[in-house]
Amino acid sequence: MSYISDQKPFRGAVRAARSWLHSDAPSLSLNGSWQFRLSPRADVPDTIEWDTIEVPSHFGTPIYTNVQYPFPIDPPFVPDENPTGDYRRHIEVPPEWLGTGRVVLRFDGVESLFKVWVNDQEIGYASGSRLAHEFDVTASLKAGDNVIAVRVHQWSAASYLEDQDQWWRPGIFRDVTLRHSPDGGIEDAWLRASFHDGHGFLEPEIVSEGFPVTLRIPALGIEKVWEDAASVVAFDVGEVRPWSAELPFLYAAALSTTAETVSLRLGFRTVEIRGDQFLVNGRRVVFHGMNRHETHPVRGRVFDEEHARADLARMKQFNVNAIRTSHYPPHPRLLDLADELGFWVILECDLETHGFSALDWAGNPSDDPSWRAACLDRIERTVERDKNHPSIVIWSLGNEAGTGSNLAAMSAWVHGRDPSRPVHYEGDHAGEYTDVYSRMYSSVLETTAIGTDGSRAKLLGCTPAQGARQRTKPFLLCEYAHAMGNGPGALDQYEELVHRFPRLHGGFVWEWRDHGILTTAADGTPYYAYGGDFGEVVHDGNFVMDGMVLSNDVPTPGLHEYKAVVQPIRFSFGAGSVELANLRHSADTSDLAFRWQVTHDGEATSSGDLTVAAIEAGASARVPLPAVDIAAAPAETWLTVEAVLAEDTAWAPAGHVVAVAQLDCSAPRAVAATPREPRWEPGDGTLTLGPAAFDQGTLVRLAGRTVAGPRLELFRAPTDNDEGTSGNPAESDGSLAGVSNAALWRRDGLDRLTTRVVSVSTAPGALKTVSRVAAAHSGRSVVVETVWTLAGDELDLRVSIEPSRGWSTVWPRIGIRFDFPDGDNPIDSAEWFGTGPLESYPDSRHAALVGRFSAGISDLSADYARPQETGHRAGLRSLTLGGGLRIDTVPDTRGRRPGFTLTRHTPQEMARAPHPYQLPPSTTSYLFIDAAQHGLGSRACGPDVWPDFALRPEARTIRLRIR
Ligand code: IPT
> pLDDT value at position 458?
82
Sheet holding 271-274, edge to edge: 271-274, 277-280, 283-284
Nearest residue (by CA) to ligand 1, atom 4, is 165
Mean pLDDT, residues 31-36: 98
Q: Residue 1 pLDDT > 80, yes or no?
A: no
Q: Which of 531-535, 640-644, 728-732, 794-798 has the lowest mean pLDDT?
A: 728-732
Residue 941: CB within 6 Å of ligand 1?
Answer: yes
Q: Is the peptide bond before 340 cis (omega within 30 degrees of 0)?
A: no
Residue 441: CB within 6 Å of ligand 1?
Answer: yes
Give the mutation target among 510, 515, 723, 938 for probing the ligand 1 site: most ligand atoms within 8 A of CB: 510
> pLDDT value at position 727?
84
> pLDDT value at position 730?
77
| Å from CA of 165 to ligand 1 middle | 7
pLDDT, tens only, 42-51: 999 999 999 9
| Å from CA of 484 to ligand 1 middle | 12
pLDDT, tens only, 759-778: 999 999 999 999 999 999 99
| Å from CA of 943 to ligand 1 middle | 14
From the list 111, 479, 536, 561, the catalytic residue is 479
pLDDT, tens only, 91-140: 999 999 999 999 999 999 999 999 999 999 999 999 999 999 999 999 99
- pLDDT band with cut points at 50, 70 and 90 for residue 701: very high
- pLDDT band with cut points at 50, 70 and 90 for residue 502: very high
> pLDDT value at position 346?
99
Give the mutation target among 165, 351, 540 for probing the ligand 1 site: most ligand atoms within 8 A of CB: 165
pLDDT, tens only, 706-751: 999 999 999 999 999 999 999 887 777 678 889 999 999 999 999 9
| Å from CA of 450 to ligand 1 middle | 21
Residue 938: CB within 6 Å of ligand 1?
Answer: no
> pLDDT value at position 331?
98
Active-site residue 54, yes or no? no
Nearest residue (by CA) to ligand 1, atom 9, is 941
Active-site residue 636, yes or no? no
Question: What one-letter code names the amino acid at 185?
Answer: G
* Rounded Cα–Cα distance for residues 579 and 565 (Å): 17
| Å from CA of 419 to ligand 1 middle | 29
Strand, coil or helix: what is 799? strand
Sign of the torsion formed by the C-alpha atoms of 546, 550, 553 and 556: negative
Count of C-beta atoms within a 10 Å radius of residue 497:
19
Atom of ligand 1 nearest to the CA of 357: 14
* Rounded Cα–Cα distance for residues 151 and 126 (Å): 11
pTM of this prediction?
0.97
Nearest residue (by CA) to ligand 1, atom 7, is 165
| Å from CA of 841 to ligand 1 middle | 25
> pLDDT value at position 457?
75
Question: What one-letter code names the amino acid at 347?
Answer: L
Sheet holding 222-226, edge to edge: 22-23, 261-266, 251-256, 213-217, 222-226
Residue 400: CB within 6 Å of ligand 1?
Answer: yes
pLDDT, tens only, 460-489: 888 888 888 898 999 999 999 999 999 999
From the list 352, 400, 511, 869, the catalytic residue is 400
Strand, coil or helix: what is 651? coil
* Rounded Cα–Cα distance for residues 416 and 339 (Å): 24
Atom of ligand 1 nearest to the CA of 942: 15
- Whether the CB-CB separation of 863 and 916 falls below 8 Å is answered with yes
Atom of ligand 1 nearest to the CA of 544: 11
CA dihedral 11, 17, 20, 21 (to 10 degrees): -110
Q: CB neighbours of 49 closer than 8 A, spacing ≥ 6?
A: 37
Task: Please report, rounded to a whole number, the percentage of residues in the chain having pLDDT higher than 90.
Answer: 93
pLDDT, tens only, 266-306: 999 999 999 999 999 999 999 999 999 999 999 999 999 99
* DSSP states along 4-30: GG--SSEEESBPPP----EE-S-EEE-
Task: Please report, rounded to a whole number, the percentage of residues in the chain having pLDDT higher than 70.
Answer: 99
> pLDDT value at position 380?
98
- pLDDT band with cut points at 50, 70 and 90 for residue 811: very high
Residue 291: CB within 6 Å of ligand 1?
Answer: no
* Rounded Cα–Cα distance for residues 431 and 437 (Å): 7
pLDDT, tens only, 536-556: 999 999 999 999 999 999 999
pLDDT, tens only, 208-244: 989 999 999 999 999 999 999 999 999 999 999 999 9
| Å from CA of 508 to ligand 1 middle | 12
* Beta-carbon-side half-sphere exposure of residue 919 (alpha carbons within 13 Å): 23
Q: CB neighbours of 456 closer than 8 A, spacing ≥ 6?
A: none
Residue 399: CB within 6 Å of ligand 1?
Answer: yes
Tell me whether strands 271-274 and 277-280 are parallel, antiparallel or unpaired.
Answer: antiparallel
How far from the centroid of its chain's Cα atoms is residue 415's Cα? 30
Mean pLDDT, residues 657-683: 89
Q: Residue 20 pLDDT > 90, yes or no?
A: yes
The b/e string for 141-174 (b: 16+ C-beta within 10 A; e otherwise) is beeeebebbbbbbbbbbbbbbbbbbbbbbbbbbb
Atom of ligand 1 nearest to the CA of 478: 3
Q: Residue 337 pLDDT > 70, yes or no?
A: yes
Nearest to 813, CA basis, from 949, 961, 959:
949
| Å from CA of 400 to ligand 1 middle | 8
* DSSP states along 700-742: EEETTEE-EEEEEE------TTTT---S-GGGSSS-BTTB-HH
